[in-house]
Structures are given as structure tokens and as C-alpha cells.
Structure 1
């Protein structure tokens, strides 16, 4: 929205010129009409008609066109309608008084019009200033690109060809229009007088004292906007630090017990081997060694998961894509988990095209998902593994008939350190599904959830099909 021009004075030069034009055109036309209808008894009508002309000219152009019209009308009345006609004569002192009063009345009317116009101009100026200040105050309160909005409003309000806001190092913060230094440029400091934050430049305009005072207010608002932006940025940084601190606290809380437990078991087992007072039997030694081995393996798995989730979140996961036979990876995952045949129901598409993926990462994804599905499946139930291929995408579905997860909470399953209410620390850190989704997305695929008909949860691993077959296949 373009703001009204902020100018001083009463009637504009255009109005005064228009007033003279009305006097020079309407005066002769009125004289011709009155002369055509001239009659000794119409003198009063003639006088009032010229008086009306003077009032109209005063309303249009102000005092000086009205005085011009009054003098011109008085001379015309004397020349055309007072005996002797076609001559300008003053027959008696009353004629002089009449012309004088006629001109005085015209001056008074035009002065009233001029004052009304002056007050209207002052009111317009006050409204323009109020509108400008309200606009820039609203921009500061909204806080969205406030500096740019204020620079634009300032350029519009002061009718400048260009405006820009510079920081203390003369770097442009915001700009509008076509800034160019010339003889009509003006600059003002932004911020506190003793600690300015920036400089506002207006180009292609001249500012009077009133405009400069208003520009000082605009500069103050600009300073407030810059301070608001600075504080908002500091708040965002503080919020980010708080979130990072919260994540670190959550990480320490989540892993403290999980890492301490296998580490303590390994230390205790090794300590038992080293400090036993009497010779240990072969069975006791083997039991301590097995305990240390299992604890160190658990510890290694936990540390590996932590490192992997860090790489996933940092976007530096190493992925080696190649054509992968989904059936081979599924069978390898089942073997790794040592699942009995009764616990698995395979429904694999024969001769399914290979998917594009990393076989190592894909196996880890399937191991994590299968382990969860097996853990929550009924004792007499089986996990169904199904493959599909459609629209250049391959899908691996892991279907269980366990208790399932409410739809509104299924997204939480993929959050790190989330066990969905499971407090059994022997099940790990709650990183399995977070890693599985990260690994799948790193291979260009997706890992999503769906409700199993009849109850349970279905996990869907989807990857693009490979354009070439895996090695060893035609």
C-alpha cells in the first residue's frame, strides 16, 4: 500500500493555477451571458453573479486567484453595466466604496477557503504520519522481515527513488528501489545515539524539517526491529543449545545403565579370573569367560549402534549400493536370529527382480525389524515375511499378529532411545528401529508401518528395483 505524500502548505500550485484558469474562462463566458440579457433592472443580479464567480474561484484556487477574479469582475461590471458603458469611470464615491467592499468580501471568502485547505493538509499530514508509524510498529511486532518492511515503507512514505539499510561495516541489510547517491540523498543513524546499529539512506528525495523528524522516528523503529531480530537469533541459538543439552542429558540417561551393566559384568568376570584365591575349576573358568565374552559383545553392539545412529543423524552414513536379491538377505537375517521354521512364514515372490541397496545394511534392517516382530508375536504364532514388486519398487513386509501399536504412536517407534514403554534394559537402547529407518533412507528407500488386519503390526521396507541383476544371475 502506497502511503500519502507528506507535504506542507495549503493549496497546491496545481490548485492555484486551476483557480486562475477558472477566472479567465468562466469570467468572460459569464460576462457574455449577462450582457446578452442586460436590462436596467438586472444590475443586482449581475453583481451577485460576479460575486458567485469570485466564491467559486476562491474555492478552487484560494486567495490570489479570488482577488484576481474580484478585481476583474469589478472592472467588468463598471465597463459593461454602469453608465457610461464601455468606459471605466468612477461617477461617485459610493462606487469606490462598492468596489472596495466587493474586493474585501472576495478576499475574506478566499482566506477562509485557504485556511480550510491548510487545516485539511495538516490533517492529511497527521493521518499519513500516523499510518506510517502504525505500519512500521506492526512490522516490528510481527518480527518477520521487519527491517526490509520498514525500509520499503520509508521509501514509499518519503517518495524516495531508493532506500537501503547498512550495518556499521557498510554491508547491506535491506534495500528497496534503486538507491543512487545524488544531490537529493539523505542518511540517518539507526539505533541509540551513543551506540548506533546501522544507517538508513534515502535517495532521490529532499526532506524538510518535519520529514526529518518523522524519519528519526522511523530510524528508532528500525533500531528496535534490528534489536528484535538480534534477540530472536540469540533466543534461537539458546533454544538450539537447550535442545542439544536435553538430547545429551537424554542420551546419558538412556545409555548409563545399558552401558554400565555389561561393562560391570565383564569387569567382574575378568576380576574373578584374576583374583580367585583357589584354583578355579574348568567349568567355573568357562562360565566366567562366557560371561565376559557375552558382556563385551553386548557392549560392542551398544557402542556400534550409538556410533551408527550418530552417523545417520549427521548424514555421513557409508552406503554401497548394488543389486541385492531380497530373498538371500531375508534368509541370512533369519539365520542370524536363529529363528525356528515354526516362527517364520515365508511368502516370497519367485524370481523377484533385485532391489537396489546395501546388502549389509539391508540385513541389519531386517534383523532389527524381525527381532521386534518375533518378540511381540504370540508364542504359537509366526511372523510372516512377504515380498512384492510393483512400479519399479520392491517391498519386504514383516507381518506380526502381536498387540500392535496405536496409529497415533507409530511415529514414535522410530525415535532414538524409544522402547515404547518397555523397561526391560536387556532389550537394548531402543535404537533398532531408528537405525533401521536411517539405513533404509540412506539406501534411497522407506521404512513405514501399517496395521495388520486382525491385529498386530506390519513393517514395510521399500527400495527401488535395480536396473541390473545381481552378480551370478542372468
Structure 2
């Protein structure tokens, strides 16, 4: 047999200290007195004497102990509860989080395990610990609850008891020391336990529990098949027709709902199930937004009988009042067919019906579908066929000598009526049916030549003919309109699908939207305008001439408060409005995407700048301090050494001071160069120059034998800035010399290769080299080859590449055959004089 699941009883406290734990223990004592096997699995007394007194006479199970970070904690022992297997167990504080290392994270999960074993559980929880109310409680009290329990756990309880107390009574209880220790009372009364906070928590508890009671009542009614309303609170249902009066009805319903505290506003719109489009979609959308603004809920149902559907919804929602508008139809139609308001009132039963008048009341409106979706040409052709076709068919039938032509004439004229319905719609088909009736009566129904019918059977046949012709024409017209609606809907769906895909891919632009809009609707020009302080500005345009202001266009559609789409060309049909609004929505998404991209780019730039600043500060704190420390030591030695400093030592100190100054100048120069490059302030002065003017100066200053300059005099001139190129080469040579010195390799070689359009300056070393995966990384600012070298901020190669790109060249790193690294600096060649060849050669290079 399947294991019985334990029942769950929850004592819900409106605030801490209202007495929920005492209420749980009082129930335990009552059950024990009735002979029920009850144990206390866990109770938190918080040192309160009156709470501890209520545990006397009850069996309290021992707690389990848990070690965590050197501290011993006690908690609920689920295994002990399962081993004891009582009928009921009391477990305090359902929202508690277990000690790390426990089998389950939350005490609520422990309770589920116990209930699964068939043991009833009585527990407690405060309203502020419910997950859905966590944010509201924080806004009210300013305190974030760290321990929460999902609402579904509490809602699943078989019984919920609210433990409540007036705020003033709870504050008196606290002042007497019955809740917190005396040293904590004053702080609590002036912060969390203020009267306003307690009142708000109390209201949250009542409203939350009211929703739970609503759910239970609904379950009870469904279980007992109770269909009639049980009005437990005010629920006002507004019947939204989709007409211009919808907003008036909603506002009136909202006023009625405001009269009762805790009332609800519901709006319902019935969609007819005839498969035809609802002409009031835009009004319905506005009504839906209005209902949401007024705090109500909007519902849509499908039904053939509008009145019955509205009443069924109101009954199912336990409505106390129905708000219905006065019919817009004229008196004659209301007299013949009645009105939806009258039918709703007759079907509502116990639900009150509030009939609201409005500006459109009593104004005759065209029946839905009376307007034809066919073109004017087809309608004119249908009217012409309605007159001509019966005449032509009659003339043809008169050519036959058979006297009994009535059945054949009826069939042919009926076919003609169907043909007219296909061509021109319903009204021409009805006209063709009437014309056919008189034609049959005059020419084919005895006695012919008069409108008199001798035989009753013939008269019935004529009447049946008219009825069948009208019915067939109606069916054909409706089918035709449905086909037209389906075609239009398919076209709109395809267009909207394409728009959705373009938005999802994120590749669409404002220019692409206006171009597609112009193509879709065949407009002469489409422009997207933005409102600025000085007037309207064109953001994107397609075709021409484009409108520069909304008033210059033929059709306008609002995108948002600051943007509008303006179309110039043939006026659009009303059926195109929904697709046009889809374009407006896409345009707003594109603009929002553009704004997000701009913010993302700005954020990325700020993030990059922050990373650069952080790296700079970290590097400056060390690398600038090193030469300064060297210089300070040298100066102290020179100034304070006196006679103890010999000539050799003095020369060494001066050399160290000079090296420190050089290194400091180099670091500062790199920082300035990098900042100028990033700001775009460094502009080269390009002239035709020979490498003989640059390379000797760039390699000077190194110890003899450290650098080998191997450039032939035949190397052509380059287009460059001498100073910037010298700094680039000097930087590369300096790095290469330091790398070669670390391995004791051969001197650094500086070569030149002549290529079509460029001259490559090669700086070749035999040092340790750089792995291919790190070569691009070493050109980034604040990157060093091994992240441990001293004497630089890691800006040298970043500055060198930036200067090279400013000169119109490139700087790359390659392997040196046999080991090492070769820096390849490509510099643009000077333009050869007119009439001379460019030539290609190779400079000297071992």
C-alpha cells in the first residue's frame, strides 16, 4: 500500500515576537492531552522563559551536533525523528538554513523528508521570510532577510494559522523584555519594530494569506462542482468590446473597484470564433495598457456568443459586478436583434450588471464585414454582372424550344449568382439573386409575361431559389473574405517574421529598416526623424525627396517619444497599419540596440582605460621607483661620502646617476608617447629620407661590438619622420641588446631588405626568443617578455608599434633561424622620380 504523506501545519507570524512558537507548542500540548503521540523535534526559545515553560511535559528529541570552522553547532536531527517515528513532530523556524556539511541545505527540505515518511509536521515561519516578499520587506524595514523559504512550500501546507498582534501590543511586549534581551530593546523599537514597519508587515501577512484562502476556496468549488459565484470580495469585470468606448468603461470600472478595500479589477475581451480579424485590435491594445496602469488584469476569451462568454468568465472569476457599455447600434437594430448588454443582464444571475452610457451610445455602426475587401474595379464588375448576366442567360435559354425550362433556368441563374459573388462580393450577388427572381417569374414561370404565379409549387420554388441564392452568395462572399484575410495574414506573418529575424541577428540598421519599409509599401521616400532641441533631424532616409519634418510626409507613425517614421507616397490602406506598426517596433529596437552598442563601446573604453590606469599605477610604483632609488643612492654617496669616496667610486656613482636619469627620461618619454598616440595627438612630418640619416644615430650609445650595422648605401630612400623612426629603431635595438646580453650571444645585427613599395629594417638577435603564442601579447602596453624583468614599464614595444603605424608602416616579430628573435620594421619607400624605375634589391645582410 502506498505510504501516507504527512500533513503540514504552518503557524505564520506577522512579525517576530507575535507568539508563533508558543502557538505551535500550545497545539502540541492539546494534541498530547487528546492522546496523540507528539514530540518536539526542534524549538528555538531564544532564552525566553515563557517559551521554555511551554515545553514542560513534552518529549523533546536531542539535537545533532555539527562542527564547522572550529565551532560546534546544534541542529534538527532528522534521523532521530525518523527512528522515533511519532505521529506529529514540532519543528520551529521552517526558513532556517542548515549548518554547512548537513545532508540538506534548508530545514524545509528536512521537513519534506519527514512528511514523506508519513509523519505530520507542525512548523513556524515569519511573513518576512517568504521568498516573494523578500524585496518588499527590505524596502519597508531596510533589512535584507538572508534566510527565505519558497512560497510554494508554505502554500502547499494543509493548514495555515496566522499569528497576529497589534503593533502597539507587540511593542509593549518587547518593552517588557518578553522578546529580546533588555540591552537590545531600545535599538529594536527605534528601527525594525517601528509602528509603521509592523503595520506594513501585518498587511503583507493578511494579503498573502487572503490569496492562499482564495486558492483554497477555488479548489473547494472545483472539487464540489459549484458553478455559481461565491462573492467573497469585490471583483469588478469590465466587458471590453474593442470600440472607442472601451477606455470609458475601464475607467468607470476602476472607480467602482476603488470603493472597496482589496477589490479587484478585471477586463475581458471576447474574440469571435468566425476566423475573421478583429477590427478593434489597436483599441484593445490601448485598453490592455490602461488596465495594467490602473492595477487590473486583462483577459481574452474566445466564444461564438459574446454575452454568454462574458457571463461565463464573470461567473468563473467570482465577480460581484459586470460593467457593460450601452449598445452603439441604432434603435431599429436593437429592437430587432436586441443588444449584448440586455443579454448579459438576462444571463448574469446573481452578478450585478452596471450599464454605462458613453459618447458612442446609440450611434449606428457598420456591421463587421459589411465593408468589402475587394477593389473598386471588382465591385463595379460585380454590379455590372449582376444585371447583365441574368439577361444574357435568359436570352440563351429563350433559344431553346423546350417549354419546361424552369429547372434549367433556376440552375443556370443560381450558377450566375455564385459567379457574381466570386467577382463582386455579397451585395452584387444579392442584387443578382433579386434580378434572377424576377427574370424566372417573368420568362419561365407559367403564366409567362406577367409577374403572376399560377401554381403554388412554382411560387415556393422561386422563394427557395432566392433563399438558396442569398445563402450561397453569403457563404461564397465569406469564404472569399476569409481567403483574403488569410492571404493578408500570411503576408504580414512573413514580413513580421523577417523583421523579427533581422532584430534577433542584431545586424539590422536604421538605414536598412527605412529602405525595407519603402520597398514593402512602394513609397517614394521614407525617413526616420529624431526630435532635437533645435528641431527635427534626419537619422536615416531612403528614396527622395525625403521629408525633413513630420508635416512634410503623407503618412506618419510614432516610434517613441523622440522618433517618428515619415512616409512620402501613396496613402496606405488601413489593413497595412499593423505591419507599419511592426516596422515602428523594429525601428525602436534598432535604436535601442544602437544605444546599447554605444554604451557598450563606452563601457569597453572605460574598462580599457581603467585597466591601463591600474597597470600603469602598478608598474609606476615599481619601475619608476627603481631609477629614483639608484639616483638617490648615488647622490647620497656623492654628497655625504666626503673624503671616503675615491675618484673611482665617485666616477661609478656619477655613472649610476647618469644611467638612472637616462632610464627615468626613457620611461617618461614612453608614457608621453603612449598618451599622445592614444589621444591621436602625435602627427608625423613625412619626408623622403635616407636610412643613413636614421640608423647610425639609432644604434649609437651601445658598447663596442654590441651592434652590427649592415646596410648598403644602395638602399632607396624612405618616406618617414626621421625622429619617430629613430626612436622606433633605437627601442628595438635596445631590447635586442638586452636579450643578447642575457645569453652572451653574438652582436645584434641591423639589416635592410628592399621590397616593392617598402624597405624592411631587420633587427636580429640571438637571445632566448619569444614563443609564437606570446608575440602579439608583447606589443600590448605594460607587457614584458617574462613579466619579471626590471627597468621598464613594458611600454617600449607598444610605443614602437604605435609610432610605426603612425608612420604608415608595420612592425612584426619573427623567429631568427638558429634561435633568437627578429623584429621586422617595414617602412614605406619614397616615391621614385618621374621616369625612373622603382628597382628592387637587397641590402647587405650576412
TM-score when normalising by structure 2: 0.47
Q: Which residue of 1 aligns with 2:452?
A: 90
Q: Within 5 Å, give how 1:193-342 maps onto structure 2.
A: 196-199=561-564, 201=566, 205=571, 226-275=591-640, 279-283=643-647, 284-317=649-682, 319-327=684-692, 329-340=694-705
1:420 to 785, 804, 812: 785
CA 188–314 in structure 1, closer or farther in 2 if over 3 Å, else same: closer
Given candidates 460, 474, 499, the residue that maps to 1:111 is 474
Contact 1:10 1:117 survives alignment (8 Å): no
SS in 1 for 2:776: helix
Contact 1:184 1:205 in 2 (8 A): no
- 1:263 to 1:201, Cα distance in 2 relative to 1, 3 A: same
Superposition CA RMSD, Å: 4.1
Contact 2:686 2:719 survives alignment (8 Å):
yes
- Could you tell me which residue of structure 1 aligns to residue 715 of structure 2? 352
Asked whether the equivalents of residues 527 and 567 of structure 2 are also in contact (C-alpha less than 8 Å), the reply is yes
Residue 429 of structure 1 pairs with residue 793 of structure 2: yes
Shift, 1:355, TM fit:
2.8
Identify which range, 217-226 or 372-381, moves more after superposition.
217-226
Measured in 1, the distance between the counterparts of 2:628 and 2:414 equals: 111
Superposed displacement of residue 300, structure 1: 1.5
Alignment CA distance shift 1:134-1:33 (3 Å): same
- 1:119-138 equivalent positions in 2, closer than 5 A: 119-123=482-486
* TM-score normalised over the length of structure 1: 0.78
| Count of matched residue positions in the alignment of Structure 1 and Structure 2 | 455
Q: Is the 8 A contact 2:631 2:656 kept in 1?
A: yes
Rounded Cα–Cα distance in structure 1 between residues aligned with 2:780 and 2:736: 17
Q: Secondary structure at the match of 1:389?
A: strand
C-alpha displacement at 1:220, in angstroms?
6.5
- Tell me which residue corresponds to 1:371: 734
Counterpart Cα distance in 1 of 2:831 and 2:557? 65
SS at match of 2:701: helix
Q: Is residue 383 of structure 1 aligned with residue 745 of structure 2?
A: no
Distance 2:608 2:552 in 1: 53
State how far apart, in whole Å, the 1-side matches of 2:658 and 2:573 are.
84
- Report which structure shows greater RCO (CA 8 Å, sep ≥6): 1
Query: Is 1:72 aligned with 2:435?
Result: yes
How far 1:420 moved relative to its partner?
1.9
Match of 1:472 in 2: none
Q: For 2:651 and 2:552, how far apart are their aligned partners in 1?
A: 95
Going from structure 1 to structure 2, the CA distance change for 1:265 and 1:116 (only over 3 Å counts) comes to same
TM-aligned CA deviation for residue 259 of structure 1: 0.4
Q: Provide Cα deviations, 1:357-381, integer angstroms capped at 9, x if missing partner.
A: 3444333333322333334345353
Q: Does 1:451 align with 2:827?
A: no
Q: Which has the higher helix share?
A: 1
1:54 CA displacement: 1.9
Q: Which runs of 5+ in 2 are unaligned?
A: 1-276, 280-368, 834-846
User: For residues 207-266 of structure 1, what are the alpha-carbon distances to aligned partners after superposition, in whole Å with 9 as ceiling and x for unaligned?
Assistant: 86x987887787677556545543443333222212111111112222321101111222
Provide structure 1 residue ranges, at least 5 long, that are not aligned to the other structure.
470-474
Q: Distance in 2 between matches of 1:207 and 1:11?
A: 11
Residues 550, 556 of structure 2: 8 Å contact kept: no
1:461 aligns to what? Answer: 825
User: Residue deviations 1:312-353, cap 9 Å, x none?
Assistant: 33333354444443346444444422241xx55565335333
Cα distance in 1 for partners of 2:686, 2:510 equals: 48
State the 1:153 CA deviation: 6.8
CA contact (8 A) 1:132 1:153 kept: no
Q: Hey, what's the Cα distance between the residues in 1 that align with 2:620 and 2:415?
A: 97
Structure 1 contact 349–388 (Cα < 8 Å) conserved: no
